[in-house]
Structure 1
């Protein structure tokens, strides 16, 4: 049996013995002859002592001095004290109670009175401690959630004339802080926020802690809130918690309509804070009608999404994809549209992000995959051209262990090859969990699916990371295309990307092409495919089917037109860069029927020809012994200029194994040792 401990502070040994005898059967008893000894025992046993029996008149340190020191020390202040007095000591009793004593008993001691008083006060203290645990957050000392609600309601009721605001905060990625810096660092952060709230309120309201990293206060309105104010608070918290950069989002709800339940007021302040999560540079938001309407709208969308899928409100639209070289229909991208019976067509920009957050996107993606395969099967059965269609694979799909099985079951259900379904995965998804993405994509690619990196240019892929990704097609982001094609020909990085794609053996699709100038620029740099409003807007499946029929019916005409275009187009150029005029003449005579021949007698002239004719040059016969700069320098520039990586470069020089090896290592397609025949 574990006994509670009582400290008896009494200078009279007989009195100490009497009290010990009365208490010993039920309690563990510690004894002190004066206040100084009692303080020493308190320091040693402070967490074990349940009650103190104290005499007032003692040598060294009397009971009053002991009471004053004890009650001013937080570690001891809550321990109850029963003062022992003489029968006629009413003045002493009042003075003791004023110094913080809990009760008093008279001498001579009556055993049953002492036992009842001691048991009653210890029980009262333990009950209060339990209540206190429910009222206060143990870590920060702020009010607990339920007690905060109660106190806040009382404060509002008592001050109907005052204006109040509810302010809530939420830490972004608090679990990550605990994982990276450890639980103690997370606790220091929470305590720092609690101190900030306490200082902010400063007697003009109440503070509480909700659910781990969420804090709330009811604050008397005293100033206008600003982004700078909450930004400074975040900086201060980061500094005091020593956890580097901490991101807090704050929400403010102005208490105007007091008929709204207070719990709902707090919920609205938290909703305001959550509405700006992930938005850099935005530190607080106020709950207003605009936010309320947005949340109500999101709730209406969420409430209706399952029924919409069952009732066929979601429909597939297809945006045609064209081959730039001959402007022929080469495929399509499947897009989702929501035709609501009351609201009409809804913008995907509104419902797709919401579905990505609530997880419904996986069901919607699976619906798109199925309907797309059904359309492909229908067109094949009608004898229309066999094309491929791109479909989106969301981040949530990647983490589905059954993704590969579902996709294979879908294409098998309609008797299609996996290569007919191109799977689009956004560039940003590759940076979030690259190992998981790579593992999943590799397995899909091994099954025969074609992998596209969507929105390339909108994220921050490093070249090394891009090289590690299992890909077949790069899909350039619409905004990236629009900004890059607005730059002069010699500027921008589109040429670099095209060269990179050639090196990685990837096809390139440009999204969002809206003008003939953009289309021409993409054609000049060798982009493979394009889609956008310039060619065609997204359309229902039946309209796209008509496009396929037109293409099937105009096959022969297209071939004739192609032949005619070939005749009208300027011939490809063969650049002969050689210091020997006789040699240049021999090469010109040999190839003049197949190429338009352009000559250069030195390196500077060769580079000028490359700059002037880059989009028409089919091949270069390059002497390695050119002057100013030499052939190796020209070859190096050819390889560095990504726009002309597809030019065939044949290096020439006197037969020399070392020069041949060096030229081939630098990227020459072949080496012809002089003298040689022209066959």
Structure 2
């Protein structure tokens, strides 16, 4: 099959002459300008053998075409021969600097054209063969041998520290292949190859694929700030919306030029392994202690299988306590390596290495079996054993037989599932979240209790709570480490404890070493602790002695809720309950009440406006410390109302006085109907519908005070009621008849007549206002005689056809025993 050649010249005669010269040996493509030439190269670069390019053309000239071709690594090696009538040496130098392979001077000799083209194509094809041998077929970067050869050549005659050699790979690449398939894995490797080839061209560096997903880079140290991960992320290397591809990177600044290239790479690889599997760090530089660590790891790896076979691994127990009463509630199973020569080896020295090698699953299965054996032994001895938590790594979860193994052990030893708790580190949920959550749900459905370990130490703690249906979270006590003058760590812990409790999740704090820490945790509602304050990890015999026959199984709870009410719907932004809450429940809110403290958690969209007015924002409302503004007597009344609501499981209504609320008068009266949604210990979750009754209450108070002072009622009412924004009237009841005493203009406007019309044609009060519920006005008045306001819906007779709320309050009973009432009409 003939090779293809592209001729680029704006002169049609030149194109025709060159086509005639080359037609017998080549398939010819033609372009009359730079833009068309670039388009043809982009479409045909895989089958093009060479380009004959004119320099002087309108628009995009030959220089620009040459520059763009050489910048694109896909066809940067394409032979380009310049055809020009310009013999200026400066023009030749410029073309060569841009990557031209050869020149043909117009007018040209056909034989020279054919030989020049043939030689350049042959050189390119020979280089391609060599390149194919050196390049990795999948990714296009140098293979292991070629990369090390390039490194050896590059560092020759360079000073120490001139180059950086970097090693990087994909975290859990095997899991990527297993979960998404080898084809998707290959696509990712190709994208990585394209990215690092382009980036190394910019940095005058070299890229290579050492094996599988292990890549290496060599580039000048002056580019040490080069952000490889940002470059890779720019290619949108993701597996799903919730799962990005994570990388681990190790770097070695080459200071020992005597080492072979493979040894230089090993140092970068060691640095990479030091951050493997860590969520808080993905990059490390090589140092000498890492080399010592490598030697130790090699020793551990060579002995681990023998150690397991010879039962050198021991299960220890760290007890867990209820700090409120000091009682033992359970334990966490930990592993120690009792080495015959080195003594006890801490898990910190071998667990991460076991995770890297995959041996951790074999060790964990051993620990699970030993714990089950202990539980069976204690049951057989007539004890009532407390639950024991065992660690489950993400590597365990991805093993095909994981669930079969854990269920099989429980069945083999015939122990209740609630005695064996499964503890998964929060960082396990940072990758492959969907799959892990699916497996966790299976375990819970089987009857296991799931715990999230080191909660709060990861980047996505809130997402973990949202997605993972765990029953227990173990708090990371690092929140209380260091000099935290602002007490932010304590505030965060308090928020986590409150949030998890309302979600029905048990909280246990681990790493508690001091009594003041435990006391603080108790004060915020976390009474379950684990740490050196109570007990260090201990061997099985010591734990058995500690347990004796005592212990309580109380490490689980859920909020006590109103029967028939699922309070969790209030937290779901898409639920129908939320729609009702925001749209139809008026000035509604949800607050938490705890020993006199009130914290608003949620308010309806109308709350701020209806209770406080347009100046109050929801954001500012949620920041109010309500209990600091509550009147002392009202605080006692509210506490009694909440206790009463909890007992009768119904709403209770009362009016409460607040001082100095934002955007409010000094005194603010709120009528609140409260109902308990749920309780956890001393904490109450309260649903509340509020009404600002300040104007009404203040008016009642003023009228009562002035009547008692025997000041002219007419003078009082004209000064007070006429400035009152709603329809207001004062009336008495004499001999069973309701007589209107005074009323303001707003009241008469609602009734549809003026005061003058009323004087000309007097009406009884019941001829103006009628209750809607068929209960007579006189019966409503009897209800108010106890000193409480009575509210009911009503309609006016002969006035505006609208629904109104009528609030009637007894404000005074004179010496003649004639009651005086205040009536306030407001439109619904």
Question: What TM-score, normalized to structure 2?
Answer: 0.51
1:45-444 alignment, distance < 5 Å: 78=79, 126-135=125-134, 145-150=144-149, 152-153=151-152, 159=157, 165=163, 167-168=165-166, 170=168, 189-198=195-204, 207-211=206-210, 214-217=215-218, 229-231=223-225, 249=249, 251-256=251-256, 258=258, 260-276=259-275, 285-444=284-443
Q: CA distance change for structure 1 residues 100 and 137 in 2, over 3 Å: closer, same or farther? A: farther
Does residue 644 of structure 1 match 2:643?
A: no
> 1:81-138: per-residue Cα shift (whole Å, max 9, x none)?
9xxxxxxxxxxxxxxxx9779xxxxx99xxxxxxxx9999988875454124334679
Distance 2:464 2:144 in 1: 47
> Does the aligned pair in 1 maintain the 2:4–2:26 contact within 8 Å?
yes
1:598-637 alignment, distance < 5 Å: 604-605=632-633, 607=635, 624-629=653-658, 635=674
> Does the aligned pair in 1 maintain the 2:139–2:189 contact within 8 Å?
no
Deviation at 1:496, TM superposition (A): 4.4
Identify the range of structure 1 (479-488 vs 335-344) with the bigger mean alpha-carbon deviation. 479-488
Distance 1:539 1:325 in 2: 23
Distance 1:331 1:546 in 2: 14
1:480-495 alignment, distance < 5 Å: 480=479, 492-495=491-494
Instruction: Specify the SS of the correspondent of 1:400.
Output: coil
Deviation at 1:309, TM superposition (A): 1.1
Distance 1:501 1:242 in 2: 35
Distance 1:311 1:389 in 2: 24
Instruction: Specify the SS of the correspondent of 1:337.
Output: strand
> 1:411-465: per-residue Cα shift (whole Å, max 9, x none)?
2222211111111123333453443233222222222222222223333556676
> Does the aligned pair in 1 maintain the 2:147–2:207 contact within 8 Å?
yes
Distance 2:488 2:193 in 1: 56
Instruction: Specify the SS of the correspondent of 2:344.
Output: strand
Match of 1:665 in 2: none
Deviation at 1:340, TM superposition (A): 1.7
> Does the aligned pair in 1 maintain the 2:312–2:339 contact within 8 Å?
yes
Deviation at 1:313, TM superposition (A): 1.4
Q: CA distance change for structure 1 residues 311 and 192 in 2, over 3 Å: closer, same or farther? A: same
> Does the aligned pair in 2 maintain the 1:145–1:208 contact within 8 Å?
no
> 1:179-234: per-residue Cα shift (whole Å, max 9, x none)?
99989975653343122331xx6xxxxx3433578343376xxx7x6xxx523565
Deviation at 1:314, TM superposition (A): 0.8
> Does the aligned pair in 2 maintain the 1:50–1:80 contact within 8 Å?
no
Match of 2:465 in 1: 466
> Does the aligned pair in 1 maintain the 2:472–2:505 contact within 8 Å?
yes
> 1:18-62: per-residue Cα shift (whole Å, max 9, x none)?
x99xx98xx7799x9xxxxxx9xx99999879899xxxxxxxxxx
Identify the range of structure 1 (522-531 vs 365-374) with the bigger mean alpha-carbon deviation. 522-531
Distance 1:254 1:490 in 2: 42
Instruction: Specify the SS of the correspondent of 1:416.
Output: coil
> Does the aligned pair in 2 maintain the 1:425–1:454 contact within 8 Å?
yes
> Does the aligned pair in 2 maintain the 1:230–1:250 contact within 8 Å?
no
Distance 2:266 2:595 in 1: 73
Does residue 535 of structure 1 match 2:563?
A: no
Q: CA distance change for structure 1 residues 485 and 338 in 2, over 3 Å: closer, same or farther? A: farther
> Does the aligned pair in 2 maintain the 1:525–1:643 contact within 8 Å?
no
> Does the aligned pair in 2 maintain the 1:189–1:243 contact within 8 Å?
no
Match of 1:447 in 2: 446
Distance 2:688 2:161 in 1: 83
Distance 1:174 1:426 in 2: 16
Instruction: Specify the SS of the correspondent of 1:251.
Output: strand
Distance 2:488 2:129 in 1: 76
Q: Number of aligned pairs?
A: 531
> Does the aligned pair in 1 maintain the 2:451–2:473 contact within 8 Å?
yes
Q: Which runs of 5+ in 1 are unaligned?
A: 33-38, 53-69, 82-97, 102-106, 109-116, 202-206, 555-572, 576-601, 660-679
Distance 1:125 1:461 in 2: 52
> Does the aligned pair in 2 maintain the 1:190–1:213 contact within 8 Å?
no
Q: Which runs of 5+ in 2 are unaligned?
A: 7-12, 31-36, 52-64, 83-100, 105-109, 177-183, 239-243, 553-593, 597-629, 659-668, 690-782, 792-828
Instruction: Specify the SS of the correspondent of 2:168.
Output: strand
Deviation at 1:376, TM superposition (A): 1.2
Deviation at 1:161, TM superposition (A): 8.8
> 1:645-676: per-residue Cα shift (whole Å, max 9, x none)?
2699999x9999x99xxxxxxxxxxxxxxxxx
Distance 1:180 1:607 in 2: 67
Deviation at 1:292, TM superposition (A): 1.0
Instruction: Specify the SS of the correspondent of 1:627.
Output: strand
> Does the aligned pair in 2 maintain the 1:324–1:530 contact within 8 Å?
yes
> Does the aligned pair in 2 maintain the 1:619–1:649 contact within 8 Å?
no
Instruction: Specify the SS of the correspondent of 1:628.
Output: strand
Deviation at 1:316, TM superposition (A): 0.5
Deviation at 1:507, TM superposition (A): 3.2
Structure 1 or 2: more strand by fraction: 2
Distance 2:431 2:229 in 1: 27
Tell me: higher relative CO, structure 1 or 2? Use CA pairs within 8 A at least 6 residues apart.
1
> Does the aligned pair in 1 maintain the 2:161–2:255 contact within 8 Å?
yes
RMSD over aligned CA atoms reads: 6.1
Q: CA distance change for structure 1 residues 294 and 619 in 2, over 3 Å: closer, same or farther? A: farther
Deviation at 1:387, TM superposition (A): 1.8
Distance 2:462 2:81 in 1: 71
> 1:264-304: per-residue Cα shift (whole Å, max 9, x none)?
22332343345446778978644332121122222222222
> Does the aligned pair in 2 maintain the 1:234–1:248 contact within 8 Å?
no
Deviation at 1:518, TM superposition (A): 2.9
Distance 2:248 2:488 in 1: 45
Distance 1:317 1:167 in 2: 43
